[in-house]
Every structure is written in structure tokens, then in C-alpha cells.
């Protein structure tokens, strides 16, 4: 009798769990509401696509292969450069320079775009022009244009509502740093 109750309880609990896990299609997220949101969305997409390609490379190429070593080396360089640019931009914002032209900022921006593009180009080389050619693949694009548009969007937003937006931007930029290659 006790086994019957336990079994019945497990069946009812399973049904409740399955019913609770049933997914329903959700509405698409609302479009970004400000230029800062657009800039952050662009930077987040760049981050996500870069990390997703790194995961894919780890899955497609064995540990120790030339392709994987090269991809990891380029990813690490791009990650460091993009995170360095984010840190420098946060510093410039703290100094009330929303559209900075300092030597340190321009160096960080150039480094991020150059190293980011080297990684993107290598992914293109592996998946579009070379070893693996998935159908309908969409790659990241031109890093310079992505980062330049991020800054432009943020500058526009800051000019609209300076103090509140600056704090929000600094907090969000911190969350958009890339994950290390081994963690992907």
C-alpha cells in the first residue's frame, strides 16, 4: 500500500513538473529604446557571436590542432584588446569625455578593432573560405564599424541625459567583457 502511494505521488509530481516546464512562445523583446541601448545591443551581439564562434571552434577542431591553437591565440588577443578598450572607455566617461580623442583611448580603440578583426577574419577563413563551410553562415562583420557605431550611439544618448545615462553605461559596459576561451 505504501509503495502504491509513493508511485502515485511520483506520477502526480512528474505530471506537474512536465506541465510547468512546457514552453510557450514568448513575444519578441521590444526594440532598444535609446541610442545607448542600441550601442550596448551591438556590443553585446559582437561579444556573443565571438564567444559562440569560439565554442564552435572548440567543438569542430580537436585540442592541439593548428586551427584550434590559432583560433584560441587570436581570441585571447581580441578579448584582451576589446576588454582593454571597454576599460579605457569607462575611464574616459568617468573623466566626462563621452567622445574621447585621447591618445590612450585611440590606441585602445585601434587595438580592439585590429585584434578583433584578426579573430573575425580567421573565423571567416575557417568556416567560409576554407575547412568547414556551413550553409547560410553569418559572420560577425567589420569590427571597426561595430565599435565605432557603439561609441556613436552612446555619445548621442549621453547628450540626451548625461548623469543618469553615464552611470548606466559604465555598469553595462562592465558586463560586456568577454569570457576566457577555456570557459566557453
Segment 112-145, tens digit of pLDDT: 999 999 998 898 888 876 555 555 555 667 888 8
Of 119, 102, 152, nearest to 53 by C-alpha is: 119
Work out the pLDDT band at 43, boundaries 50, 70, 90.
confident
Give per-residue pLDDT as tens, 85-111: 999 999 998 898 888 889 999 999 999
Q: For the packed helices 103-127 and 143-160, what is the interaxial angle rounded to 10 degrees?
A: 140
Residue in this structure with the C-alpha cell 573575425, named with its chain if needed = 120
Distances (CA, A) of 5 to 1, 12, 14: 7, 10, 14
Mean pLDDT computed over every residue of the chain? 78
Is the whole-model pTM more than 0.85?
no
Amino acid at each position: 500500500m505504501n509503495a502504491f502511494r509513493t508511485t502515485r505521488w511520483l506520477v502526480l509530481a512528474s505530471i506537474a513538473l512536465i506541465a510547468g516546464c512546457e514552453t510557450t512562445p514568448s513575444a519578441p523583446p521590444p526594440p532598444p529604446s535609446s541610442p545607448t541601448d542600441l550601442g550596448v545591443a551591438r556590443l553585446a551581439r559582437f561579444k556573443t557571436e565571438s564567444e559562440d564562434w569560439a565554442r564552435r571552434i572548440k567543438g569542430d577542431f580537436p585540442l592541439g590542432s593548428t586551427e584550434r591553437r590559432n583560433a584560441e591565440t587570436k581570441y585571447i588577443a581580441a578579448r584582451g584588446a576589446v576588454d582593454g578598450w571597454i576599460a579605457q572607455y569607462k575611464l574616459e566617461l568617468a573623466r566626462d569625455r563621452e567622445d574621447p580623442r585621447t591618445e590612450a583611448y585611440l590606441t585602445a580603440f585601434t587595438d580592439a578593432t585590429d585584434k578583433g578583426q584578426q579573430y573575425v577574419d580567421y573565423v571567416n577563413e575557417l568556416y567560409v573560405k576554407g575547412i568547414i563551410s556551413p550553409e547560410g553562415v553569418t559572420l560577425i562583420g567589420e569590427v571597426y564599424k561595430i565599435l565605432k557605431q557603439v561609441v556613436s550611439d552612446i555619445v548621442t544618448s549621453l547628450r540626451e541625459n548625461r548623469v543618469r545615462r553615464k552611470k548606466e553605461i559604465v555598469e553595462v559596459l562592465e558586463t560586456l567583457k568577454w569570457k576566457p576561451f577555456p570557459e566557453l
